[in-house]
Amino acid sequence: MKINKLYLLLILVALVAPSLVYPVFLMKLLCFALFACAFNLLLGFVGLLSFGHAVFLGTGGYITGYLMLNTGLTPELGVLAGTVGAGLLGAIYGKLAVKREGIYFAMVTLALAQLAFFFYLQAPFTGGEDGLQGVPRGELFGLIDLNDNFAMYYFVLAIFIFGFWMVHRTVHSPFGQILKAIRENEPRAVSLGYNVNDYKWVAFIISSALAGLAGSTKTLVFQLASLTDVHWHMSGEVVLMTLLGGMGTIFGPLVGAGVVISIQNMLSGGELGNYIHIIMGIIFIVCVLAFRSGIVGEFQKLVKKNFG
Amino acid sequence: MATIFGINLFALSGQLLVGLINGSFYALLSLGLAIIFGLLKIINFAQGAMYMLGAFFAWMALNYMGINYWWALILVPLAVGVLAILMERFLVRPIANEDHLYSLLLTFGIALVLQGLFTHIYGSSGLPYQIPAELKGGTKLPFMYLPNYRAWIIVSSLVVCFSTWWVIEKTKLGAYLRAGTENPQLMQGFGINVPLITTLTFGFGVALAAFAGVLAAPVYSVSPEMGSNILIVVFAIVVIGGMGSIGGAILTGLLMGVVEGLTKFFYPEASTTVIFLFMVIVLLVKPAGLFGKEA
């Protein structure tokens, strides 16, 4: 009951937010928060560190961007295509990656993502270094013009709520319980008769499709799909958001994305650009050494200690 | 012009040479990773940054202190090794008993800081480093022209790689090392200082990357991004090789360099991806890697 009130409050805040804060910033935040939620589904709830998750963000973005530019699809269909495309790539990559565990899993996902990076760099339809520019936002269901930032914002918010609900639903389902069992004690899950690799695989597909959803939406917001979204730096960023916010918590990725995007917005442009890497690196080091549960995790611990 | 089956031998051997050189760097870097992984079960994500640091230290030593290439080749790995020892002691060791993913994230953070720092100071365009005078020029072979410096890269990295292999696999010191990883408590019981050995080995593994960095400085331009670009390729190589053995890391590194060189000759479009494709095939056929022990 308590948690439902919290959700209602958050949705209320999200509904009025664009009148107070620049909507494009909010949309960027929502896209990255969704990306981080999708990533956290793997890292936080299955214990799988996918170090190449940017590939799904970027793939969703490229597919949506290409279709919107060339076929005149409506935006909801463009986003759907990007999501499905990223999910399919996730199915292939996931099948390969779940064969290895732990650190190897991280390396395999990173290398597979790099394979796609070089492909997108050279493929004729991605615009190479320039990316796909001037992607039209189109009209939602052929009715609502998304060039208006407010209309676009509510579309993005609806997508985010859907994605967040998907993660929430997955985690709190019997399927999610098995995922957590795998995270806690994989050999035991195996001995209970679960085909662990299949469960990991399905989680991987859901996560990559949602990451693709985030990428597709991001492409519509910024009207741009580029190599930055596929680069492994982006994979690092989403790890940072999740770690900083608190992996394995429902709200952690949201908070982490908020902090990282805000820092980047403050520092972007001009001389301070290089500081972003340095600061992100330091946050990484401090998080790992000092507060591994992240902001939300530490907050929950604090609440439990004082009020629990 | 020498040709066989219509293939330009001159161009082919040229690409093979480039492949062998890249392979030498891959071998040095994956060997360092394998040693660190073997002892500490850490994937040192900062290994690429340490390679970059090696190249930059060589450049700085020459331009700020007038220390020439030959001294740099000895002093830079030592300096970077000492840095790595400090890093192990104060950053990595406190989390040594946590999930290994944390050490990966920690070293990733270190890599970001180093790369950001050097981009901030030197920009991202890259700095030139002259080939030392003694190694200028080259030898004309019947099928190719072999620049002396390139020959030196291959020979010196092979010597370093195989002496490392020999020390670890064939000497008493190596036996202690391997025993220390298998059963640290037992080795402690025999009066061997395992944490010291671990720290020194970490330093040595990183020093190998710095050595590769100094070797690379005259052939590639010295830039902050050189480390992150090569590191991901080396990760793929590690997956292919399987990290099961020290020798496997060296051989896979060299082999993949050659594979890359051959691809550049026969089908250049795929040269940046061929190693990753190779990794996919190995994962399908033998998930533990070519030299991997685990099932």
Quote ipTM for the complex: 0.84
Kindly list the distances between the CA atom of residue A264 and the CA atoms of A170, A276, B124, B199, in Å, as whole numbers in the listed order: 31, 7, 20, 36
Query: Is residue A58 scored above 90 in pLDDT?
Result: yes
Query: Is residue A288 scored above 80 in pLDDT?
Result: yes
State the residue for tokens 């890391």: B249
What does the alpha-carbon distance between residue B90 and residue B110 come to, in Å, rounded to a whole number? Answer: 13
* Measured CA angle at A136 (ends A223, A61), to 5 deg: 45
Rounded to the nearest angstrom, the gap between the alpha carbon of residue B135 and the centroid of all alpha carbons in its chain is 22
Picking from A115, A277, A287, the nearest residue to B276 by CB comes out as A115
Phi/psi for B140 (5° steps) reads -95, 110
Residue A279's closest CA among A254, A259, A299?
Answer: A259
Q: Is the minimum CB–CB distance between B113 and chain A shorter than 8 Å?
A: yes
Query: Is residue B5 scored above 70 in pLDDT?
Result: no
Question: At a CB cut-off of 8 Å and minimum separation 6, what does A280 contact?
Answer: A236, A237, A240, A260, A263, B109, B112, B116
pLDDT at B163: 93
Q: Which amino acid is at A260?
A: V
Picking from B41, B43, B116, the nearest residue to A277 by CB comes out as B116
Which tens digits make up the pLDDT trace of A231-261?
888 898 899 899 889 888 888 999 999 998 9
What does the alpha-carbon distance between residue A183 and residue B71 come to, in Å, rounded to a whole number? Answer: 50
Q: Looking at chain A, which residue has its C-alpha nearest residue B235?
A: A107
Q: How many CB atoms lie within 10 A of CB B269?
A: 11
For residue A225, the cross-strand partners are A132
* Residue A262, both tokens: 């805000």
State the residue for tokens 């997108």: A120
pLDDT at A83: 95
Helices B47-65 and B194-216 cross at an angle (nearest 10°) of 60
Which tens digits make up the pLDDT trace of B222-233?
998 888 889 889
Q: What is the DSSP letter of B41?
A: -
Mean pLDDT score, B144-170:
89
Q: Looking at chain B, which residue has its C-alpha nearest residue A272?
A: B120
**Inter-chain CB proximity B232 and A118 less than 8 Å:** no
Chain B residues touching residue A282 (CB < 8 angstroms) = 109, 113
* Residue A50, both tokens: 């996918």
* Residue A248, both tokens: 């394995």
For residue A139, the cross-strand partners are A145
What does the alpha-carbon distance between residue A38 and residue A83 come to, in Å, rounded to a whole number? Answer: 12
Q: How many CB atoms lie within 10 A of CB A16?
A: 9
Query: Is residue A109 scored above 70 in pLDDT?
Result: yes
Query: Is residue B33 scored above 80 in pLDDT?
Result: yes
Query: Is residue B151 scored above 70 in pLDDT?
Result: yes
**Inter-chain CB proximity B91 and A289 less than 8 Å:** yes
What does the alpha-carbon distance between residue B280 and residue B127 come to, in Å, rounded to a whole number? Answer: 35
**Inter-chain CB proximity B101 and A106 less than 8 Å:** yes
Kindly list the distances between the CA atom of residue B247 and the CA atoms of B162, B205, B212, in Å, as whole numbers in the listed order: 8, 14, 18
pLDDT at B77: 94
The distance of B294 to chain A (nearest Cα, Å) reads 11
* Measured CA angle at A126 (ends A121, A128), to 5 deg: 40
Which tens digits make up the pLDDT trace of B37-54?
877 788 888 999 999 999
Query: Is residue B6 scored above 80 in pLDDT?
Result: no
* Residue A104, both tokens: 């190897």
Helix (H, G, I), strand (E, B) or coil at A299: helix
For B240-285, the DSSP string reads: HH-SS-HHHHHHHHHHHHHHHHHHHHH-GGGTTTHHHHHHHHHHHH
Q: How many CB pairs under 8 A join A and B?
A: 116
Q: Which amino acid is at A14?
A: A
For A281-302, the DSSP string reads: HHHHHHHHHT-TTHHHHHHHHH
Could you tell me what percent of chain A has a pLDDT over 90?
32
Chain A residues touching residue B111 (CB < 8 angstroms) = 281
Sign, CA dihedral A253-A259-A262-A268, equals negative
What does the alpha-carbon distance between residue A210 and residue A229 come to, in Å, rounded to a whole number? Answer: 15
Which has the higher per-residue pLDDT, A54 or B280? A54
Q: Looking at chain B, which residue has its C-alpha nearest residue A48?
A: B101
Q: What's chain B's average pLDDT?
A: 86
Q: What's chain A's average pLDDT?
A: 87
**Inter-chain CB proximity A103 and B43 less than 8 Å:** yes
Helix (H, G, I), strand (E, B) or coil at A23: helix
Phi/psi for A132 (5° steps) reads -95, 115
* Residue B140, both tokens: 């004309």
* Measured CA angle at A255 (ends A303, A231), to 5 deg: 145
Chain A residues touching residue B108 (CB < 8 angstroms) = 236, 239, 281, 284
Query: Is residue A27 scored above 50 in pLDDT?
Result: yes
Q: How confident is the model at residue A294 (pLDDT cuts 50, 70, 90)?
A: confident
What does the alpha-carbon distance between residue A222 and residue A211 come to, in Å, rounded to a whole number? Answer: 16
Chain A residues whose C-beta is within 8 A of a chain B C-beta are 49, 96, 99-100, 102-104, 106-108, 110-112, 114-115, 118-119, 121-122, 232, 236, 239, 243, 274-278, 280-285, 287-289, 292
* Measured CA angle at B102 (ends B100, B103), to 5 deg: 70
pLDDT at B157: 93
Q: How many CB atoms lie within 10 A of CB B73?
A: 18
What does the alpha-carbon distance between residue B49 and residue B229 come to, in Å, rounded to a whole number? Answer: 10
**Inter-chain CB proximity A106 and B104 less than 8 Å:** yes
